Amino acid sequence: MPTSSQSPGRLRRRLRELHRRLVLRSFARETIQSIESGDDYNDQLEVRVIRVEEIIAARWPRSAVLRRQLAREIRASVAPYPHDYIPRGDFFGRRLQATSETATLVHMRRVARVEERLRRAGK
């Protein structure tokens, strides 16, 4: 005879329900995280496109200065990744690695801020 107030069948159903809720919450959390990290990539892309548009729209002396600044920043972003560090060691592979790491850092900062707010609200 079971010692709990629930029969084994009811207990099994309850455990299945709890497991299902846990899986759904985990799936929802991963989906939201994926959407937010995609937003971070889009934000980076938007800033880059606006800077290129500014270069195109600027007149000669300013456009040359802006173009050099952007080129310097892009070269500096791939400098920490040597050719043999990345499987595809060309500029594209190194730039892709730098961009993905930047987006990951931005996302981690956003998550840390949200967790801090939740911690403060819980106190």
Give how many domains the chain has, as a whole number.
1
Has residue 89 been placed in a domain? Answer: yes
2-41 pLDDT per residue, tens: 555 668 888 889 888 888 888 888 887 777 777 777 777 7
Please give the distance of CA 36 from its chain centroid, rounded to a whole number: 6
Has residue 1 been placed in a domain? Answer: no
62-113 pLDDT per residue, tens: 999 999 999 999 999 888 877 766 666 688 888 888 888 887 787 788 778 8
Output DSSP code: residue 3.
S
At residue 95's C-alpha, the angle toward residues 92 and 100, to 5°, is 120
Q: Is 115 helix (H, G, I), strand (E, B) or coil?
A: helix
Q: Report d(CA 81, CA 74) in Å as an integer.
A: 12
- Domain range for 44 is 8-122
pTM for the whole thing? 0.58
